[in-house]
Amino acid sequence: MNASFTLLRQEIRLRLRGSAGPAALGLFILAGALAPLSLGTNDDLLATVAPGLLWIFACLAALLGLEGLFQDDLSEGRFAVLRLTSLPLWLVMLLMMLAYWIVVCAPVLIAAIPIGFLLGADISTTLRLSLSLGVGTPALAFIGACLAAICAGLPRGTGLVIFLALPFFAPALIFGARAATGGDDMIAAFMFLSAFSLIALATCPFIAAAAIRQNME
Amino acid sequence: MGTQPYQISLQIHDLGVERAGRHILAGVNFSIAPGDALVLRGTNGAGKTSLLRALAGFSRVQEEEITFLHGAEPMERDDIAATHLHYLGHENGVSLKLSVMENIVSWAQLLAPENAAQAPDLLEKVGLSLMAKERVGRLSAGQKRRLALTRLLIAPRAVWLMDEPATALDREGQALLTELCQAHRARGGVIVLTAHEGFSLPDARGLQLSTGGAE
């Protein structure tokens, strides 16, 4: 247990040294702030599209943060060190993915609140949006990181990761935006979103561990 | 440092390593007793690194081909990896974004938390104490290798697997490496390393690898 916390802390520190976190947050804020410029100042329109729009931006931010994830760890031999610790590789991957979510996705769901207000969404919509991002982004982070682990051995693999991630992100995007918009099927959408994240949480660490093993052969 | 001598020995029986369906190594046999060192030699592509990585458990091999023994008792593979192996590859395993001190403290926290306080002394030993706050990305190849050596020292482990450890080290650094290795062997540690001509350990055995097998 102690070693897990230690690795998580080290991992967060290491990710914070990289550009992924600030770049993803920057993209989200900038895109949200620029949206009114391209969509016009029709307040009703902005407020209506805000949940869907911010979900797309969140997906893009999560993808942007994948740049180089695990690639350095593989080329610097860090995985070789981590595989010779008491932590099993799937747990190492789980902690790394968790750190990725904390550094890249968590700031986005906090930033969604001011950006939501900026686009003219009301309080309840904004809170639902942030909550739906909180429930749905773990799926984005875990699936994205899993694909990054598979492509970690490829030079310039990030381009491939983005295309591979699209079909997996689609369900989160559909139900996330639905949950944020509210309405009759909101509860169902939230439940689907949580299920999606839980499935990703349960499977991705093992797939990523197998991928890293394969990449190290 | 551990005062108890290590008692880990290693038996390799008919080891074969395959990569993408191609035989890199076949029929490798050797055994190493506590205090022994084995120097793997061979041309580029002869499979020296593959052999080391197989010993470290990074590539798939048949269970019975590699046996680690504690005294006379065979040991569990996972147990070995978690507590008895050090692997020093040509990548060094150092994080370029962290400082020298942060690297060594991270290893200590993961591998041997009780030894974290030794970090400054170990940096002094490998000649990096003036660079403690420097970001590793700015270090020379030799300095990174010296830093990587502290990982072997901060967590006492019986088996050192080293891939071309002398590369990038200056003469003084190679002398330091030899000294550290000999001290490790004196405590009963086991060393398997690869090297080109020009570096060897006193009274170490050699194993010549050629493509497809070993002599």
Residues B123-136 pLDDT 10s: 999 999 899 999 99
Residue B172 sits in the same domain as residue B215: yes
pLDDT band at B59 (very low <50, low <70, confident <90, very high): confident
Residue B197 sits in the same domain as residue B213: yes
Lowest-pLDDT choice from A45-49, A125-129, A186-190, B140-144 = A45-49
| Confidence at residue B3, expressed as pLDDT on a 0 to 100 scale | 59
Residue-range definition of the domain harbouring residue B12: 1-84+158-215
On chain A, the residues whose CB falls within 8 A of the CB of B91 are: 75-77, 80
Instruction: Looking at the complex, report in whole angstroms how far the Cα of residue B215 sits from the nearest Cα belonging to chain A.
Output: 24
**CATH number (domain holding residue B180):** 3.40.50.300
| Confidence at residue A42, expressed as pLDDT on a 0 to 100 scale | 81
Nearest one of A162, A156, A62 to A104, comparing CA atoms: A62
Structure tokens, A6: 């230690």
> Which of A9, A84, A86 best tests the B interface by mutation, with the highest count of B CBs <10 A?
A84
pLDDT surpassing 90 at residue A201: yes
Mean per-residue pLDDT, B102-121 = 92
Residues A93-130 pLDDT 10s: 999 999 999 999 999 999 999 999 988 888 999 999 99
Residue finishing a domain among B106, B133, B156: B156
d(CA B95, CA B156): 21
Residue B39 sits in the same domain as residue B101: no
DSSP B51-106: HHHHHHT-S---GGGEEEEETTEE--HHHHHHHTEEEE-TTTT--TTSBHHHHHHH
d(CA A4, CA A10): 10
Count up the domains in chain B and report the number: 2
pLDDT surpassing 70 at residue B214: no
d(CA B155, CA B148): 12
Per the model's pLDDT, the better-predicted residue between B89 and B199 turns out to be B89
Lowest-pLDDT choice from A138-152, A162-176, B106-120, B188-202 = B188-202
On chain B, the residues whose CB falls within 8 A of the CB of A71 are: none
pTM for this predicted structure = 0.92
Residue B205 sits in the same domain as residue B101: no
Place of tokens 């830093």: B147
pLDDT surpassing 90 at residue A26: yes
Residue B75 sits in the same domain as residue B113: no
d(CA A118, CA B139): 46
On chain B, the residues whose CB falls within 8 A of the CB of A18 are: 97
Lowest-pLDDT choice from B110-114, B145-149, B202-206 = B202-206
| Confidence at residue A113, expressed as pLDDT on a 0 to 100 scale | 94
Mean pLDDT across chain A? 92
Which one of A131-145, B5-19, B193-207 scores highest in mean pLDDT? A131-145
Residue B57 sits in the same domain as residue B162: yes
d(CA B76, CA B8): 12
pLDDT surpassing 60 at residue B1: no
Choose among A3, A18, A76: nearest Cβ to B93: A76
Residue B99 sits in the same domain as residue B79: no
Residue finishing a domain among B156, B171, B203: B156
Residue B25 sits in the same domain as residue B46: yes
Residue B125 sits in the same domain as residue B209: no
Residue B151 sits in the same domain as residue B163: no
Contact (CB<8Å) B91/A14: no
Q: What percent of chain B has pLDDT over 90?
A: 48
Contact (CB<8Å) A72/B57: no
Residue finishing a domain among B139, B156, B173: B156
Choose among A7, A75, A85: nearest Cβ to B91: A75
Contact (CB<8Å) A217/B106: no
**Are A125 and A40 a contacting pair, CB within 8 Å?**
no
ipTM, interface predicted TM-score of the complex: 0.90
H-only helix segments in chain B: 48-56, 77-83, 100-111, 119-125, 141-154, 171-186
d(CA B8, CA A126): 61
Contact (CB<8Å) A76/B95: yes
d(CA B199, CA B181): 12
| Residue B171 CB neighbour total at 10 angstroms | 7
- Count of pairs with CB atoms under 8 A, one residue in A, one in B: 71
pLDDT surpassing 90 at residue A1: no
Residue B20 sits in the same domain as residue B117: no
Closest chain A CA to residue B20: A217
Mean per-residue pLDDT, A22-51 = 90
pLDDT surpassing 90 at residue A150: yes
Instruction: Looking at the complex, report in whole angstroms how far the Cα of residue B118 sits from the nearest Cα belonging to chain A.
Output: 18
Residue B75 sits in the same domain as residue B165: yes
| Residue A136 CB neighbour total at 10 angstroms | 33
Instruction: Looking at the complex, report in whole angstroms how far the Cα of residue B204 sits from the nearest Cα belonging to chain A.
Output: 25
pLDDT surpassing 80 at residue A202: yes
In sequence order, the 6+-apart residues with CB closer than 8 A to the CB of B186 are: B35
| Confidence at residue B215, expressed as pLDDT on a 0 to 100 scale | 45
pLDDT surpassing 70 at residue A92: yes
Contact (CB<8Å) A82/B110: yes
